[in-house]
Amino acid sequence: MHLLRIPLYLLLLLSAWCAETQAQEKGLLIVHTNDIHSQIDPLSDDTTDTTGGFLRREAVIDSLRRSGKAILLVDAGDAVQGTPYFTMYHGRADMVLINRLGYDVITPGNHEFDNGTEALAALYRKARPEIVNCNYDVSGTPLDGLFKAGIIKEIGGVKTGILGVGVDLQSMVDAEKIAGIVCRDGIAAALHTADSLRKCGAELIIVLSHMGIEQDTLLARRSKDIDLIVGGHSHTLLTRSLNIAGKDNPVCIVQTGEKGLHLGVVSYDRGRLDGYTIPLTARYDSLASPETKALIDTFRQPLEKTTGTVVGRALHRMKIERPQSALSDFTADVLAAQACKENRRCDFALINMGAIRRDIAQGPITRGDIMACYPFENRICYLTLRGREVRQLFDIIAARGGEGVSREVRLIVSPDKKAKHLTIGGKRVRPWRRYCMATTDFVANGGDGMTPLTRCLQRTDTPFLLRDIIAAAIKDSTEKSGGISVATGERIICE
């Protein structure tokens, strides 16, 4: 009997060819989410329809796993903050569900830091997925050792390099919450890490980016190694992948909007990437897992006892939008009224649009609605500052396209987003006059770029939470007038 002898190198070559052929036949799917913001339940729109929700997301992902293709499940940050689930459970409910769904890799967004580094470290120690970020130096903080700049995983026969990068936290998060963290240039750090992963043998390089679509586009154009950017932060819904010309190859950019209303899928086949999104509608409800529903109920039922109480009523839908809106005007007016209740002088009030996360629908307003609308632990703060800082402040507000201001303000914004005309209380702002204002501690700390407020002459912090004084104002208005109704005046006018 004669045995066929095959040289070792041919066996290795044949083995590699078989593995590659198997990977090509099976295919690789990158399944991705971003900016879910603790939206565990489906979200209602103006009709009776709902979209999103963890149960639907799980049902679709399980269906994709049954397809036989290799699956990489990733999240690009801001998985938390934005609903009463986070207010009550501080991210614990979100992490339990992230682990249950079997995410492979996640990256932090800016809102992961809202409760500080110690709380985030405690949360991440319970995380099963790998956590990647290459531009936050967390040495010496409670997060030390929990982040990796990048990793390489072999998935479906493809050596896949995955790195994370985030937005500069300095203007996004209170300084005390990120003490000790050094934020490095995101694009430079991502390019360097991608180069390192390529040199370590990665065939496919994926960036989980929480920098926003504009920065992602710049990163793609400067890249020679990156193949795919899974984006977040800007809440951009890309129903199909966006292809940008990099230095050596096209870069695919994807993003799923916000609140988990869509699930993103990118197919990788023979070096080609193609991305699309799946709307998570009621069509997937029949596939929901009873076990997962029971798990969610353990968080939902105690929450409903707190959030179901009706506080008041909205006589019409109150939206949050730039340059001004009923909800931002109402919020700023409540801040100014609170100052008057405390017998404080208040020339104007300011609320950043980012502090208000959801519209208020017409009809009953529950405590849960208020918690979802005002999810942050923002406390009322009173400042005294000179007119020159007030002018600088409104230059920033004009450049940002508007913020919430009280009825004493009239600002005209030029087409190039400059503060063309500004009056407070019907009078022009004088550089050396002292002005008193009401805002939140986040804004007073220079948050959202409001740095002139850090040069105030006097500051008084209070223990009052913004959402608590809003709830009191809604209750009072409902008792007196049947509900809240605010007509947007000409506070901020964009030419």
> Residue 444's pLDDT band (boundaries 50, 70, 90)?
very high
> Residue 271's pLDDT band (boundaries 50, 70, 90)?
confident
* CA dist list (Å): 214 to 42, 79, 121, 206, 364: 29, 21, 29, 17, 39
Residue 408: closest CA among 392, 389, 394, 388: 394
CATH class of 27-301: alpha beta
Across 300-308, average pLDDT: 90
Residue 180: closest CA among 120, 92, 91, 107: 120
Helix axes 54-65, 92-101, angle to 10 degrees: 20
Average pLDDT over the chain, rounded to an integer: 91
- Among all chains, which residue has been given the structure tokens 């002139």? 452
Residue 153: closest CA among 71, 226, 223: 71
- Among all chains, which residue has been given the structure tokens 């926003």? 212
Q: What is the distance of C-alpha 292 from the center of its chain?
A: 24
CA dihedral in degrees (117, 164, 105, 94; nearest 10)?
40
Q: What is the pLDDT of residue 289?
A: 95
Q: What is the pTM of this model?
A: 0.84
77-88: per-residue pLDDT in tens? Answer: 999 998 999 999
Look at 70 and 323; give whichever has higher pLDDT. Answer: 70
CB contact at 8 A, 329 and 337 = no
Q: Where are the domains of the chain?
A: 27-301, 308-494
Helix axes 290-307, 92-101, angle to 10 degrees: 170
* Span 308-494 CATH architecture: Alpha-Beta Complex (3.90)
